[in-house]
Amino acid sequence: MDRGVAVLLTACAGGLIALQAPINAGLGRSTGSLPAALVSFGIGTIALAAIVLLSGKAGGISSTFDVSWYYLLGGLLGAVYVTNALIAVSAIGAGGVAAATITGQLTASVVIDRLGLFGLDQVALTPERVIGVALLLAGTVLVVR
């Protein structure tokens, strides 16, 4: 995939993620926070199951346990994020949740790249990357104030 297209599509997906916390919080006002997270993941699971089945790629599921155990933690990590965002949005708003999420994602990703974790190539920790993380952190502080 072209890098420009990848950045554009990822930015669009990020915009959709920004909708997730306030939508789930609205559901949570009716059901409670934890049930809202469960409903959110249940609907997501149904949607993904349909996509996998319709794409004809369901056979890949048989290889699920052929990977290292930590590759199976993605759903758990997503559940932690959704539950936290659902609760935090009332304290710091959708912008605060998005800013803090992106700051945490970028910080962790720079460390993951530097160490070459999870089979990724190592990427040097440059002054530009450090400045980028610092600026994002500063922006997060300004957004949540």
Q: What is the pLDDT of residues 86-132, one digit of tens each?
A: 899 999 998 999 999 999 999 999 999 999 999 899 999 999 999 99
Q: Which of 123, 24, 12 is nearest to 83 (CA)?
A: 24
Q: In total, how many domains does the chain have?
A: 1
Provide the domain limits for residue 93: 3-144
How far are the Cα atoms of 66, 98, 111, 115 from residue 18, in angstroms, in the given order?
34, 6, 24, 29
DSSP 8-state assignment for residue 56 = T
Instruction: Check pLDDT > 90 for residue 1.
Output: no
Q: What is the pLDDT of residues 57-96, one digit of tens each?
A: 999 999 999 999 999 999 999 999 988 988 999 999 989 9
Q: Which of 8, 41, 46, 48 is nearest to 27 (CA)?
A: 41
Instruction: Check pLDDT > 90 for residue 137.
Output: yes
Phi, psi (5° rounding) for residue 2? -60, 140
CA distance 84 to 77: 11
Return the pLDDT at 43: 96
Instruction: Check pLDDT > 90 for residue 23.
Output: yes
Q: Which residue, chain included where needed, has tokens 């920790």?
A: 125
